[in-house]
Amino acid sequence: EDQVTQSPEALRLQEGESSSLNCSYTVSGLRGLFWYRQDPGKGPEFLFTLYSAGEEKEKERLKATLTKKESFLHITAPKPEDSATYLCAVQSGGGGADGLTFGKGTHLIIQP
Amino acid sequence: KAGVTQTPRYLIKTRGQQVTLSCSPISGHRSVSWYQQTPGQGLQFLFEYFSETQRNKGNFPGRFSGRQFSNSRSEMNVSTLELGDSALYLCASSFRGTATDTQYFGPGTRLTVL
């Protein structure tokens, strides 16, 4: 059974204070690891897809990396608008979409 | 390009009733997946449809069902509602529904069961 664990559960940072969010996973054959951002009362917003160990992707102040056991979402010089819950999900197995397995998320608060 | 849309956005029902939620995927996307999100369990996979066929199903009771139409629009139905069914129901669409496809989520339908 696929498992995804995110840490920390909550993180409070000052504006400009860089940090990293962790996503550890156990899957039988990783097909893709996905990062989403979710604001209160809204659906998850897609950020990145990573497919193989060593892969990195960047978007504005965010950078996602992937190893064989975990993924990191690095946030550089965050702003208050980066406050949200960040979700990590994995897709494993065969060719069909068996359904994403999500972690519980990291609730990030950026204080001005 | 318009995103995934879900209707209604909010619903209040009482125990024992049934409810139908609707999802319109991104234009050109043929796969639609449904998820339930609760504070305790997080996001959990319900089922996935592709070309009007249910291909995969999560670990939910038979009260939860769905269907997909020829235009890829999808509906999910929950019968005999229980208090524990109160949740945010999210629909996600992807182009081909393969394991490497990115799923794009709609805004969700907030269901409250009284």
Q: Give chain A's radius of gyration (CA, Å).
A: 14
Residues of chain A contacting B102 with CB distance shorter than 8 Å = 32, 34, 46, 49
Interchain pair A43, B98: CB under 8 A? no
- The percentage of chain A sitting over the pLDDT mark of 70, rounded to a whole number, equals 95
Residues of chain B contacting A43 with CB distance shorter than 8 Å = 4, 6, 90, 105-108
Residue among A44, A95, A103 whose CB faces B98 most closely:
A95
B100 confidence band (pLDDT: 50, 70, 90): confident
**pLDDT (tens digit per residue) in B15-73:** 999 999 999 999 999 999 999 999 999 999 999 999 999 998 999 999 999 999 999 99
Question: Distance (Å, rounded) from C-alpha B21 to C-alpha B10?
Answer: 10
**Closest CA–CA distance from residue B28 to any residue of chain A (Å):** 17
Phi, psi angle pair for A81, to nearest 5°: -70, -10
- Mean pLDDT, residues A75-82 taken together: 98
**pLDDT (tens digit per residue) in A8-54:** 999 999 999 999 999 999 988 899 999 999 999 999 999 999 999 99
User: In terms of pLDDT, which residue wins out, A18 or A95?
Assistant: A18
For residue A20, what pLDDT is reported?
A: 98
Question: Distance (Å, rounded) from C-alpha A44 to C-alpha A102?
Answer: 11
Does B101 lie at the interface with A, CB-CB under 8 angstroms? yes
**Residues 72 to 111 of A: which have CB under 8 A from any B CB?**
87, 89, 91-105
Question: Distance (Å, rounded) from C-alpha A47 to C-alpha B103?
Answer: 11
Q: Which of A32, A31, A40 is nearest to A107 (CA)?
A: A40
Could you identify the residue written with the tokens 């497919």?
A: A51
* pLDDT at residue B2 tops 90: no
Question: Distance (Å, rounded) from C-alpha A16 to C-alpha A106?
Answer: 18
Mean pLDDT of chain A: 94
A103 confidence band (pLDDT: 50, 70, 90): very high
Could you identify the residue written with the tokens 């199903």?
A: B57
Q: Which of B84, B102, B100, B77 is nearest to B92 (CA)?
A: B102
